Amino acid sequence: MSRIARVRLALGALALVAILFVFVFPSRSYLAQRRQVQNEQHKVSVLREQNDKLQAEAIRLQSRAVQEQMAREDFHRVYPGEQVYDIVPGVTAAATTSTTLP
């Protein structure tokens, strides 16, 4: 192999490496960053939806009627003069027949 052929081969290899550094590696990095940006944008849109739902729920919970309903159902609160009755489930027929003596 002549000296000129070696120089051309070395320059070709150097040019190939330069092309890789200039075009290929930045392109891979760019595509990875684009994917990451899309993922983060999706997360932001999901968080915005959740935020909108929570804001609507906060507005709903500020209603006097909703507060009264929650106080009655969850905490058994009543107005003066009212009475609360709790309904307890009864005993089933199978439970009463299994306790008979021989």
The full set of domain ranges for the chain reads: 3-79
pLDDT at 102: 40
Buried b / exposed e along 16-48 (16+ C-beta atoms within 10 A)? eeeeeeeeeeeeeeeeeeeeeeeeeeeeeeeee
Higher pLDDT, 95 or 53: 53
CA distances from 4 to 7, 16, 46 (A): 5, 18, 62
pTM: 0.52
How many C-beta atoms lie closer than 10 Å to residue 7's C-beta?
10
Alpha helices in 1-102 (DSSP H): 3-19, 25-61, 64-75, 93-97
d(CA 95, CA 92): 6
Mean pLDDT of 1-9: 85
68-73-74 Cα angle (round to 5): 100
Mean pLDDT of 22-51: 91
